[in-house]
């Protein structure tokens, strides 16, 4: 899976637009390992707004998580994020 890391400066640009089958996610990286923690979101701002909460929960459930890096990405999937249930995030229908 290939994902592009996004920031607040990407708001309003082409990077903040989704193609069918894509979603915005809070992502986590540990060296060469990558994961989609929370999402998919239909708006970049929603994923960016969840970043701190997702990191806090990740650190509470995994003792190694304080060494991970976190960000937001646009990914070519609509699968639920790994922490959706813990954060009460429902996966929206593909759109």
State the pLDDT at residue 1.
42
R_g of the chain, CA atoms, integer Å: 12
pLDDT 10s digits, 21-33: 999 999 999 988 8
Nearest to 81 by CA among 25, 11, 20: 25
Q: Which domain holds residue 70?
A: 4-79
Percent of the chain with pLDDT over 70: 84
91 located within any domain:
no
Residue 40: asked if its preceding bond is cis (omega within 30°), the reply is yes
95 located within any domain:
no
16 located within any domain:
yes
Of residues 73 and 2, the one with the higher pLDDT is 73
State the pLDDT at residue 93.
61
Overall number of domains in the chain: 1
42 located within any domain:
yes
Contacts of 76 (CB under 8 A, 6+ apart): 1, 2, 3, 21, 22
Cα atoms in the 13 Å half-sphere on the side-chain side of 95? 9
Cα atoms in the 13 Å half-sphere on the side-chain side of 37? 29
Quick check: 28 and 35 in contact, CB under 8 A?
yes
13 located within any domain:
yes
Of residues 6 and 55, the one with the higher pLDDT is 55
pLDDT 10s digits, 54-82: 999 999 999 999 999 999 988 999 999 99
Mean pLDDT over residues 33-60, rounded? Answer: 94
74 located within any domain:
yes
84 located within any domain:
no
């Amino acid at each position: 899976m290939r994902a592009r890391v996004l920031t607040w400066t990407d708001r309003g640009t082409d990077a903040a637009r989704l193609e069918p089958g894509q979603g915005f996610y809070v992502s986590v990286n540990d060296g060469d390992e990558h994961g989609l923690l929370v999402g998919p979101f239909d708006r970049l701002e929603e994923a960016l707004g969840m970043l701190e909460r997702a990191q806090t929960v990740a650190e509470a459930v995994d003792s190694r998580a304080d060494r991970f890096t976190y960000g937001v990405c646009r990914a070519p999937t609509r699968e639920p994020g790994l922490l959706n249930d813990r954060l009460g995030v429902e996966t929206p229908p593909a759109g």
